[in-house]
Amino acid sequence: MFMRRITPVVALMAVLTSIPTGAQIIEQVLVNVNGDILTKTEFEQRQIAVLRNRPELANVTPESLELRRAIGEVTPQLILDAVDELLLIQRGRELGLALGDEQFASILQNIKKSNNLEDDAKFEAALKQEGLTMADLRRSLERQMLASEAQRRDVVEKVSVTEAEAHAYYDANKQDFTTPSELTLREILVEVPTSDQGINVAQDDEARAEAESLRKRLLAGEPFPRLAADSSDAPSKANGGLIGPISRDEIAGPLQKQFDAMKIGDITEVIRTTRGYQIIKLESRTETKIRTFDEARSDISNKVGESKMSGERLKYLERLRGLATITWRNDELKKAYEQALATRQRTTG
């Protein structure tokens, strides 16, 4: 939720204004992008928003090395994202976009509802606690809308998935469209007592004999749920020995083969386990099912589309960046920005 505040904020603010690292912020204006600026206060808020969600920083002090290191880690990506956002917001304005009064009112109502703050007085108090005014909130929401809508119009609406691309993805990722076989079982466990000296042979023999006797009774027609409830040492006895349904893939290899050869209702031989002797009944089984291409077409289009959009979005940002005039007022942040940009280009190139 957007209305959250935790204890390290004061420590973070103290460090952000003092440490000589990639997060150093000295001048009020950090960068100018085509005439729009990113200020010291705005960037500090971004840093705090990220770091306040790191539980390991809950009790840090301004002198904490851990906090300083965390700031240095998050700053490169944050400054890259901040410049990207300015480029997208500017593109949104070029497209003639704006947040209208009705749209703002609708979004505001949703925010109030999702935060249980439908009372206006409580909502105003929550805004004040976050250090925000209604004008600040509207500006933030409009910036989000401009950036999102610009990408939708320039990228999302122009991405399409060809039949060949869809088939290629399906053929390479059939496991994603496969529902594995599931088994429902019933068990009876006769536990073998253990001690510091290990297992007593006589007790082991006694447990095995009891398990064999129970199996004979099952084969003679006695109900498995009743015998499990009366005689099993497994926690499943409370449910008549019922286990599952469980995926076939979660079962150990030798047991997989054994269950594959069994018919519904079949009962295993007595099986030695680490806890004792077990008898298992195959209660039900669903077969492995692979969705056909046509059945999975919608999901395939979404998967391929998302992948293509990710790449197209980065190309789109590169084009916007290439046309932009970016003037830095802070050398350390410029280095952090260039570091993050190089990492992005290396990992996506």
CATH code, domain with 52? 1.10.4030.10
Domain boundary residue, one of 235, 254, 287: 287
Kindly list the averaged pLDDT for each block of 10 residues, start to end, along the chain of length 349. Answer: 43 49 58 94 89 83 85 95 97 95 93 89 88 90 95 92 94 90 92 80 90 93 93 92 88 85 92 91 90 93 92 94 96 95 85
Distance from the first to the final alpha carbon of the chain: 35
Q: Are residues 154 and 185 in the same domain?
A: no
Long-range own/partner contacts, residues 293-299 (CB < 8 A, 24 or more apart): 293/166, 293/167, 293/170, 295/177, 296/170, 296/177, 297/166, 299/177
Torsional sign, CA 235, 240, 245, 249: positive
**Which residues make beta-bridge pairs with 271?**
278
Q: Count of domains in the chain? A: 2
Rounded Cα distance between 154 and 168, Å, is: 26
Q: Are residues 100 and 186 in the same domain?
A: no
| pLDDT for the residue 263 | 93
| pLDDT for the residue 302 | 92
Q: Are residues 29 and 154 in the same domain?
A: yes
Task: Look up residue 345 and give its two tokens.
Answer: 């280009």
Q: Are residues 187 and 276 in the same domain?
A: yes
Rounded Cα distance between 119 and 71, Å, is: 37
Query: What separation in angstroms does the CA of 44 have from each of 289, 302, 331?
Result: 52, 36, 16
Would you give the DSSP letter of residue 18? T
Burial 311-321 (b: 16+ CB within 10 A, else e): ebbbebbeebe
Q: Are residues 99 and 199 in the same domain?
A: no
Rounded Cα distance between 68 and 242, Å, is: 54
Query: Residue 267 is part of a domain; what is its CATH number?
Result: 3.10.50.40
In a domain, residue 95? The reply is yes
**Which residues make beta-bridge pairs with 157?**
none
In a domain, residue 166? The reply is no
CB 267 within 8 A of CB 219: yes
Task: Look up residue 26 and give its two tokens.
Answer: 């000295």
Rounded Cα distance between 274 and 276, Å, is: 6
Rounded Cα distance between 1 and 118, Å, is: 14
| Segments forming the whole domain that contains residue 211 | 181-287
Task: Look up residue 155 and give its two tokens.
Answer: 């990228």
Domain boundary residue, one of 235, 268, 287: 287
CB 82 within 8 A of CB 23: no
Rounded Cα distance between 185 and 262, Å, is: 12
In a domain, residue 188? The reply is yes
Rounded Cα distance between 59 and 8, Å, is: 6
| pLDDT for the residue 162 | 93
| pLDDT for the residue 279 | 94
| pLDDT for the residue 281 | 93
DSSP run (H or E) holding 193 = none
In a domain, residue 310? The reply is no
Q: Are residues 29 and 133 in the same domain?
A: yes
Q: Are residues 133 and 207 in the same domain?
A: no
In a domain, residue 149? The reply is yes
| pLDDT for the residue 11 | 52
Q: Are residues 17 and 149 in the same domain?
A: yes
In a domain, residue 304? The reply is no
| pLDDT for the residue 5 | 40
Q: Are residues 153 and 211 in the same domain?
A: no
In a domain, residue 322? The reply is no
Place of tokens 């249980």: 116
Q: Are residues 185 and 219 in the same domain?
A: yes
Interhelix angle for 65-94 vs 9-16, to 10°? 80
pTM beyond 0.75: no
Residue 2: how many CA atoms within 13 Å on its side-chain side?
Answer: 18
| pLDDT for the residue 12 | 53
In a domain, residue 89? The reply is yes
Q: Are residues 60 and 192 in the same domain?
A: no
Q: Are residues 250 and 336 in the same domain?
A: no
